[in-house]
Amino acid sequence: MATNQAKAIDLDDYRWLVSDEAIPWLARAAAANESTVGLTAALRRDLSPARTHLVLEQVELRRRAARKFPAAAGMFFTARSLEQATDHFVAEYKARRFASGAPSADLCCGIGGDLLALAARGPVTGVDRDPRMAVLAAANGRCADVGGAPPPHPRPLSREGRGRDTAELVVADVEAIDVRAFAAWHIDPDRRVGGRRSTRVELHEPGPAVIDRLRAAQPDAAVKLAPAATLPAHWESEAELEWISRGGECRQLVCWFGRLARETGRRRASIIDAHSPVVRSIVGSGGGEPPYAERLGEYLYEPDAAVLAAGLTAPLAAEHGIAAPTPSVAYLTGQRPIQDAALACFRVREVFPFDVRKLRAALATRSIGRLEIKKRSVECEPEKLRRALRPSGDRAATLIVMPLGGQTKAILAERL
């Protein structure tokens, strides 16, 4: 969004966007077959530039949000809030740690990804200092049938007057919230203070000092962070750290404190999907290296992203009796196929020196046209390599480029 346009969009425009008045405009834009230029011109005949922009942007954001939210077609987002929002499936999984029927709070709630899941457990209060987020989160709460409306001004919170499956929104700084009013609370601190993303928690807003003060008032808390976040040292021992992945991507790190923690001081890697609360969970202390194999086995295994982020490759390898084919490479090897949601399994077909010309000839000879390219610890751009290899044919394979025996090798494999 251009700066001038951003300045032209005020809170009333966002309130209009979530009102019944905007519904026909959103429907028209979603169903339009005309060019963006033509649609923009048509909307501008009746709407202000700011509202035209919001309608067009919302239609595109809803399309993108469908990967995160089953109800995306009726929800409301900003580009940044959609990127930062916890997706429906991860939020639902996290919310299961909160006591059913007990009041909770979602601090820095954004557009309400976690808020909606917590509302399904019991009464929840969403807090955000950005009034636009309160407007959008309240509308998303109504879309999910959990009620809620943002008050015009920040106000004190209390337990009274809230039933199950309800959400209320408060525009306030989190330091103004008395978290003792809740059985537990969740927070998603801003990782882009000043517009630049950071994995250093001390640069988040609010930072560790504020979060620790909130914990002192109510210890039962969950802190959502990026998977690569650098934590305060005392959190490592005071929290259970859980890395959560879905669809092969590590989505977030959650620091569970107080009674929300199941194993304080331990690390957990959890793999979930849209059909099960948790497919696989691995718990350990983190660190350590798996044993090394003397040679490459018949199978290669790639640990899930959550396992790698949590540093739990060694216990996973020990569980299955498999080893690493080379130091500091995130693959394991063994002599049998393994069915485990924490491991992608590949049958090794052939091993080649990493030579583009020879690889191109090998692929052509084997009629391999559908080629998945993966690489570890080597300088290689998969898409650039694909163009150089020019795969064609009706067969599929996976090409894994990695160091092996002190040389860069290309392993032709079959994904199982």
Least confident range of 154-168, 183-197, 201-215, 256-270: 154-168
pLDDT value of residue 9: 82
**CATH class, 83-284 region:** alpha beta
- How confident is the model over 92-145, as pLDDT tens digits? 999 999 999 999 999 999 999 999 999 999 999 999 999 999 999 999 988 765
Q: Which spans in 218-333 are helix H? A: 233-238, 305-310, 313-320
Measured between alpha carbons, how far is residue 181 from residues 72, 103, 172 in Å? 31, 8, 16
Which of 1-5, 148-152, 395-399 is most confident? 395-399
Answer yes or no: is pLDDT of 195 > 70.
no
Cα 246 to Cα 345: distance, rounded to the nearest angstrom: 17
Rounded to the nearest angstrom, the gap between the alpha carbon of residue 278 and the centroid of all alpha carbons in its chain is: 15
Q: DSSP label at 123? A: -
Answer yes or no: is pLDDT of 273 > 90.
no
Strand order in the sheet with 124-128: 167-171, 124-128, 104-107, 184-187, 221-225, 249-257, 240-246, 267-273, 276-284
Cα 225 to Cα 202: distance, rounded to the nearest angstrom: 12
202 confidence band (pLDDT: 50, 70, 90): confident
- How confident is the model over 360-414, as pLDDT tens digits? 999 999 999 999 999 988 888 999 999 999 999 999 999 999 999 889 999 999 9
Residues 137/110, Cβ–Cβ less than 8 Å: yes
Read off the pTM: 0.88
- How confident is the model over 162-182, as pLDDT tens digits? 334 578 999 999 999 999 999
Q: What is the mean pLDDT of residues 69-79?
A: 94
Answer yes or no: is pLDDT of 150 > 70.
no
If you average pLDDT over every residue of the chain, what do you get? 89
Cα 242 to Cα 110: distance, rounded to the nearest angstrom: 22
Answer yes or no: is pLDDT of 160 > 50.
no
